Structure 1
Amino acid sequence: MTSFLTSRFGGLALRNVMNNKNGINSFGLRCFSTNSVSGLRNIGISAHIDSGKTTLTERILYYTGRIKEIHEVRGKDGVGAKMDSMDLEREKGITIQSAATYCKWGENHINIIDTPGHVDFTIEVERALRVLDGAVLVMCGVSGVQSQTITVDRQMRRYNVPRVVFINKLDRTGANPWNVIEQLRKKLNLNAIALQVPIGKESNLEGVIDLVTEKAMIFGEKGTAPIIEEIPSNFVEFVKEKKMELVETIANVDDELGEWMIENDFPNNMPDEKTLTAAIRRTTIARKVVPVMMGSAFKNTGVQPLLDGVIKYLPSPNEKKIIALDTSVKDKETEVELESDPKKPFVGLAFKLEEGRFGQLTYMRVYQGTLKRGDTIKNVNLGKTIKVPRLVKMHASEMEEVSEVGPGEICAMFGVDCYSGNTFTHQNCSYTMTSMHVPEPVMSLSIQPKSKDGQANFSKALSKFQKEDPTFRVKSDQESGQIIISGMGELHLEIYVERMKREYNVETVTGKPLVAYRETIQQRGDYNFTHRKQSGGQGQYAKMIGFAEQSENGMENEFVNDVIGTAIPPTFIEAIKKGFKDCIEKGPLIGHPVVGVKFVVSDGNTHSVDSSELAFRIATAGAFKEAFEDGEPTILEPIMKVEISLPQEFQGTVISGVNRRKGAIVNTTTQGESLTFECEVPLNNMFGYSTELRSMTQGKGEFSMEYLKHTNVSRELYNQLLEEYKKKRTEENK
């Protein structure tokens, strides 16, 4: 075997994995086999921040033999968890980029993507779930359902991803798995059902009892297999009760098990392990139930049964329906169901990009067919054909070279120019995968390099980051000439500024964070506007009559042509439509985008010589401004859903801090000595809150926030924003 070391982010090992005749690589892992699709699992590890995702993934890698030592997130040895390969991740103790790896459990192969928990990096979770067949939703046994748990649940539903739940941190004070299951049912509306019962609680956690096999598993020293025992006598009645609940819950949504119960005199006879396992698998894949397993990743408890559960209950690639769109006929897309067949034409989705020293690293999910090094494939979205360069399988920051990848697998290609979300196919195929949901940015910063010497690297960094991350946007403000970067939050933008410094050696200067304000109207506003200009020769003439009102589609804008006859010819209607699009990009109040406006043209007039598309486009600007001013205009600001967790002793200080930031506390939950507030706070008032919370709680408090809605600003802020905008325009016109 030949091997060589080279680097992607400074110290990344690339192994040239020579496949033997059985397709086994140097780690004993089958990279590709035409018969192994049913034994393959593609899973994501997702959760609210600080629920233990990366710690759990570290244990999975250890127990499957992929790593030889366990290192902790924020560990004292300074090494950090395997899946946190970026220096920034190790320093901050959070996951920033999703990381892929693969391992073997028994005869089965598992591709794993460890995703971030922080809402600022939600696109990483979004694109991972877009390509995965199943997921493990990790819950904290103390905190239960938190704000980001709700977001992750929404993402799993969006892509129809079956999941199992792992209730983690049961060794902590105040942990209660039954409370968490109740929250899953009430807050997330999931048909959650326990497959295990913990033995001992908090610091006395020893193991779990499996309700399907009715065996106890006691976990001892790190790295050892659990000891299988009979159920302790003091748990027999409780286990019987929970197993009854399990069987009845499954039978309510599974006809096969329901029929079995009728035919076999239930509850006098209980279903055997094989019958019950098959029923749980069917209902989990159909997303009718969510199996719940328990343990503590940090204490090495419950990890092996979770791996068994992933294999038993989550689908293989050929058990999940995958739909593509056939674009071979122009303007007519038809749905096509893909098959996990290595002999069918190749179809794959580029779901994530990274920039490395070898060029762009493109993460690919293969849905159908086989991808081989040297093959010629087509980028359907860009209409380009490329030759497949090097193919690698990812193990966090390490790459292991392979010659071919089969259906259901996740791999990466080097040096391919494409965008996140592009579909690649066989040359004779024109399928495209459906796009993923990309949330809109909520915060912006002005940014520029400190010195002119860094301009080239500055531009290169911005270009790379935009390609990598669809939620990171860059635009140039035409009036001020400033470069504006936009993202999902303060931390999101802070990370990119820091990466620019470390990876591109560019020191930058950032301006005050800009909030994504929006402009709208609160009532109907009429217009009757005539644009007339005569300066010798052909002039300009356009007359428009109509109104603007609140849109019926929430924040969406609408254009409606209600002109009867040819008072305004169709060619000029198109010009009006374009003029309306220009108007909503920068509103009349403070220059922010306009939302939630329905613009209706009902009548007008033209001149046989002087009317033109340009005249009507100019007239639209005047008509829109007239209607906008008549429609009681207002400014909307983003309101964030903020979840703050803290020890009870700091309750008063934190509440007064929220009130000072004009926030409203909508819910409070208490668990042991810990307190959690759910608040709604204007984004404009949240800047610098992380520092304030740390100082108020002696570093013990933490918070997360995500976009909730836009609402009207206060009259005071409205006047302030108008004054600032007016002052800015005056200075620019000097």
Structure 2
Amino acid sequence: MRTDLTTSPSTPTSAAAAIAAVAAVRNLGILAHVDAGKTTVTERILFLTGAVHKRGEVHEGTTVTDFDPQERDRGITIFAAAVSCRWDGHLLNLIDTPGHVDFADEVERSLRVLDGAVAVFDAVAGVEPQSESVWRQADRHGVPRIAFVNKMDRPGADLDAAVASIREKLHPAPLAVQLPIGREGAFTGVVDLVGMRALTWPAGAAPGEGCQVGDVPEELAQEAGRRRQALAEAVAELHPAALEEYCATGTLTPGALTDALRRLTGSGQAVVVLCGAAYRDRGVEPLLDAVTAYLPSPLDVPPVRGEFDGAPQERAADPEQPFSALVFKVTASTTGRLVGLRIYSGTLRKGDTVLDARTGRTERIGRILRVQADRHTETDTAAAGDIVAVVGPKGARAGTTLCDPRAPLVLEPAVAADPVVTVAVEARRSADTDRLAAALARLTEEDPSLVAGTDPEGGRRTLSGLGELHLEVAVEKLRRAGLEVAVGRPRVAYRETLAAAVTGLVLRHVKQDGGSGQFAHIVVDVAPLGEPGADGFEFRSTVTGGRVPPEFVQAVEAGCRDALADGPLGHPVTGVRVTLTDGATHVKDSSDLAFRTAGRLALREALRRGGPLLLEPVAEVTATVPPESVGGVLGDLSARRGRVHGSAPRGGGAVLTATVPLAELFGYAGALRGRTQGRGTFTTRPAGYAPAPRAQQR
């Protein structure tokens, strides 16, 4: 159902109408591995819903969501882009997310404010490495998903193999609700197993004409019936209400099946799987119907939780409740500083004054904009459940809570990943030094996963990020802003951990310099947290008899965390477990400060005694290469200190997987092209940390 989006939904005239408007909202993201076709899927959605009147193409650089010049030059999505459209009476707020691992933080911030997602998979490759990464990110945020197996028109496309891949690598219960009509280049439509009807897109039909609905082809009737029954059985096993109907009738009606699939999707028990070929405009209308039928509205998800002054609070998706919203994106544009918001409760009006819960300052909302990537339509109000951009808040950052000043609330922000690669950045002209500082501040404001700093040795400005491409894009933004900059060689971010356990370490902190003194006596055991390279920090106390009061135990933990910032080798410390086993206090001189100091000194002493172990970041590399290049590529990976895990045939080539130190991957793209005559491709994803070579341990 194609709808003109230039008209805004009517303003609710009653509480019931306001709630109904919230129920019609779907906030969803498009998630995928690089080149699975998610931007093409997004473009077809925008075209079919009437949000745009000409289809954009990635290879032509004409897509709506990949609007940044770098995205069009590189042919990949770099920045999460929000768009709005309407389908069958529903408002869809859609965020097209990057597929490259270097921009995983863009995905993380988007998932924090979404209620559902469409995961796009390549019908030939199935689940790919970054598919797994974004899926796990969605798992952490509890975001329900449906799956769309794209590129069914490619040679080697296989829906059943893709579903098996999803079951094996991602989810135990993928439920295919469609059966393809035709294979590979002859793919012309699908059988809808819920309604038992055929949906086809005839060859030669004009884009946007829509699908034709008819009877199931005779040659597929038996197979479709078998799959419909298997789908009903699988749903009945997972859903009690569906089981009752199935036991009574031996099948499930389309209405009961749809209701059960919606509930299973919302609870995360199952994943509905559809298929199509977005580039050829096939399968997108059923996907839109599935979004509205199976993904939750803001009313279907639990109330958002926050706190203020230590007291937990909840806000339901009700336009009548006090206003609360989370900032997920900040962008500098020609129309001003745009602040992307997910509104969780209340109603926001142009001219309202809101509280920035991070700074405690009030801010005025100058304009409210409905976003179409780099284009915007102004509106006067936005209500609970909506995603919009606003102009006005000057201090808001990604993760900031904006709320009603009379009902303060702080919502939990998305956590930015720690940077793993650093480059030195200098202005070529001394007159541009201040401009460079301002530009770096603007970059880090827009992208919290970028960190600007200063090299303690040379005093040069540095920029740290999540990968080589991440930093390349950031530096290119500086240059396109008119700054001439010189960039140093990338350096990885090392960590350190404890090489050997230290038990029974006694630390007495006594200080007396007039007035109240400081006294703290603690005994700790410090041990590695699992295998070398394990991430995290654990603290526990086994002190009995009140020898160390609870408030001082917390101070010891805080002191240990202070010591994690800088280890003996000059890098952050990770992978350590500290156990407080005993201690003593002084009736007058013991304090939080004394025990915090003791905790910091104790962990530093334990690292000195147990010996620090230098850790380097490693990445899992998945390279797709022609058969004749396998030997050379494997040799190159080994020369880069890589540990090869396996090789598997795929589509006339081979897929190699290996774990390689990140420091050895700088420039790997060019090396792989050279060894494969330009036919090889690769992807990476973080694989944690591993001990660095002995020569680097110092």
| Aligned match of 1:731 | none
Label 1:308 to 1:575 Cα distance change in 2 as closer, same or farther (>3 A). closer
Q: Which runs of 5+ in 2 are unaligned?
A: 13-17
| Aligned match of 1:275 | 256
| Aligned match of 1:141 | 123
Label 1:558 to 1:162 Cα distance change in 2 as closer, same or farther (>3 A). closer
Amino acid paired to 1:703:
F
- TM-superposed CA distance for 1:607, in Å, is 13
Query: 5 Å matches for 1:227-238?
Result: 227-238=212-223
| Aligned match of 1:455 | 433
Whole-Å separation in 2 of the counterparts to 1:225 and 1:606: 77
Label 1:648 to 1:234 Cα distance change in 2 as closer, same or farther (>3 A). farther
Whole-Å separation in 2 of the counterparts to 1:365 and 1:145: 30
Residue 342 of structure 1 pairs with residue 319 of structure 2: yes
Q: Secondary structure at the match of 2:633?
A: helix
| Aligned match of 2:15 | none
| Aligned match of 1:586 | 566
Query: 5 Å matches for 1:214-233?
Result: 214-220=196-202, 221=205, 222-233=207-218
Label 1:326 to 1:530 Cα distance change in 2 as closer, same or farther (>3 A). closer
Whole-Å separation in 2 of the counterparts to 1:360 and 1:310: 32
1:481 is aligned, of 456, 459, 463, to: 459
Aligned Cα root-mean-square deviation (Å): 3.3
Residue 67 of structure 1 pairs with residue 52 of structure 2: yes
Residue 492 of structure 1 pairs with residue 473 of structure 2: no
Deviation larger for 57-66 or 625-634:
625-634
Amino acid paired to 1:584:
L
| Aligned match of 2:336 | 359
Amino acid paired to 2:337:
Q
2:83–2:371: 8 Å Cα contact kept in structure 1? yes
Whole-Å separation in 2 of the counterparts to 1:305 and 1:566: 64
Whole-Å separation in 2 of the counterparts to 1:415 and 1:178: 50
- TM-superposed CA distance for 1:441, in Å, is 1.7
Deviation larger for 390-399 or 665-674:
665-674
1:551–1:558: 8 Å Cα contact kept in structure 2? no
Residue 301 of structure 1 pairs with residue 305 of structure 2: no
Amino acid paired to 2:661:
P
| Aligned match of 1:696 | 675
**Per-residue CA distance 1:421-462 (angstroms, 9 max, x = gap):** 111222221223222233222222222222212112211121
Amino acid paired to 2:682:
F
- TM-superposed CA distance for 1:615, in Å, is 11
Whole-Å separation in 1 of the counterparts to 2:585 and 2:552: 9
Whole-Å separation in 2 of the counterparts to 1:570 and 1:249: 51
- TM-superposed CA distance for 1:106, in Å, is 2.3
| Aligned match of 2:484 | 507
| Aligned match of 1:166 | 148
TM-score (norm 2): 0.89
Amino acid paired to 1:138:
V
TM-score (norm 1): 0.85
Residue 402 of structure 1 pairs with residue 379 of structure 2: yes
Label 1:68 to 1:479 Cα distance change in 2 as closer, same or farther (>3 A). same
Amino acid paired to 1:586:
D
Residue 210 of structure 1 pairs with residue 189 of structure 2: no
Label 1:603 to 1:139 Cα distance change in 2 as closer, same or farther (>3 A). closer
Amino acid paired to 1:289:
A
- TM-superposed CA distance for 1:130, in Å, is 1.2
Label 1:523 to 1:293 Cα distance change in 2 as closer, same or farther (>3 A). same
Residue 248 of structure 1 pairs with residue 236 of structure 2: no
Whole-Å separation in 2 of the counterparts to 1:306 and 1:571: 55
Label 1:356 to 1:633 Cα distance change in 2 as closer, same or farther (>3 A). same
Deviation larger for 137-146 or 38-47:
38-47
- TM-superposed CA distance for 1:55, in Å, is 0.6
Whole-Å separation in 2 of the counterparts to 1:344 and 1:98: 29
Whole-Å separation in 1 of the counterparts to 2:415 and 2:122: 27
**Per-residue CA distance 1:199-218 (angstroms, 9 max, x = gap):** 11111111111111211122
| Aligned match of 2:620 | 641
- TM-superposed CA distance for 1:710, in Å, is 1.4
1:544–1:623: 8 Å Cα contact kept in structure 2? no
Q: % of aligned pairs identical?
A: 35
Residue 195 of structure 1 pairs with residue 177 of structure 2: yes
Whole-Å separation in 2 of the counterparts to 1:501 and 1:167: 39
Q: Secondary structure at the match of 2:41?
A: helix
Residue 469 of structure 1 pairs with residue 450 of structure 2: no
| Aligned match of 1:239 | 224
2:27 is aligned, of 42, 45, 61, to: 42
Label 1:699 to 1:28 Cα distance change in 2 as closer, same or farther (>3 A). farther
Amino acid paired to 1:383:
G
Label 1:600 to 1:186 Cα distance change in 2 as closer, same or farther (>3 A). closer
Whole-Å separation in 1 of the counterparts to 2:520 and 2:349: 62
2:407 is aligned, of 413, 417, 429, to: 429
- TM-superposed CA distance for 1:667, in Å, is 3.6
- TM-superposed CA distance for 1:32, in Å, is 5.4
Whole-Å separation in 2 of the counterparts to 1:611 and 1:262: 69
Label 1:232 to 1:523 Cα distance change in 2 as closer, same or farther (>3 A). same
Label 1:306 to 1:537 Cα distance change in 2 as closer, same or farther (>3 A). closer
Whole-Å separation in 2 of the counterparts to 1:631 and 1:512: 33
| Aligned match of 1:445 | 423
Whole-Å separation in 1 of the counterparts to 2:307 and 2:598: 42
| Aligned match of 2:73 | 91
Whole-Å separation in 2 of the counterparts to 1:414 and 1:342: 21
| Aligned match of 1:11 | none
**Per-residue CA distance 1:212-252 (angstroms, 9 max, x = gap):** 12111221322221122222222112111111111111111
Deviation larger for 302-311 or 646-655:
646-655
**Per-residue CA distance 1:502-555 (angstroms, 9 max, x = gap):** 12x112222222212111222234767899999x999x9999885663244853
2:501–2:528: 8 Å Cα contact kept in structure 1? no
- TM-superposed CA distance for 1:411, in Å, is 0.5
Deviation larger for 399-408 or 315-324:
315-324
Amino acid paired to 1:304:
E
Label 1:630 to 1:103 Cα distance change in 2 as closer, same or farther (>3 A). same
| Aligned match of 1:4 | none
**Per-residue CA distance 1:296-325 (angstroms, 9 max, x = gap):** 111111111111111111112211113222
| Aligned match of 1:386 | 363
Query: 5 Å matches for 1:254-333?
Result: 254-264=239-249, 266=250, 270-327=251-308, 330-331=309-310, 333=311
Label 1:403 to 1:572 Cα distance change in 2 as closer, same or farther (>3 A). closer
Deviation larger for 540-549 or 350-359:
540-549
Whole-Å separation in 1 of the counterparts to 2:150 and 2:565: 46
| Aligned match of 1:55 | 40
Deviation larger for 630-639 or 494-503:
630-639
Deviation larger for 82-91 or 479-488:
479-488
Whole-Å separation in 1 of the counterparts to 2:221 and 2:44: 30
Label 1:557 to 1:310 Cα distance change in 2 as closer, same or farther (>3 A). closer
Q: Which runs of 5+ in 1 are unaligned?
A: 1-23, 723-734
- TM-superposed CA distance for 1:619, in Å, is 8.9
| Aligned match of 1:662 | 641
Whole-Å separation in 1 of the counterparts to 2:258 and 2:273: 14
Residue 518 of structure 1 pairs with residue 498 of structure 2: no
1:705 is aligned, of 681, 684, 688, to: 684
Amino acid paired to 2:615:
L
Amino acid paired to 1:390:
R
2:526–2:603: 8 Å Cα contact kept in structure 1? no
Amino acid paired to 1:161:
V
Label 1:405 to 1:693 Cα distance change in 2 as closer, same or farther (>3 A). same
Deviation larger for 233-242 or 391-400:
233-242
Residue 651 of structure 1 pairs with residue 633 of structure 2: no
**Per-residue CA distance 1:69-105 (angstroms, 9 max, x = gap):** 1121122xxx421111100000000011111111121
- TM-superposed CA distance for 1:149, in Å, is 0.9
Whole-Å separation in 1 of the counterparts to 2:571 and 2:10: 51
| Aligned match of 1:12 | none
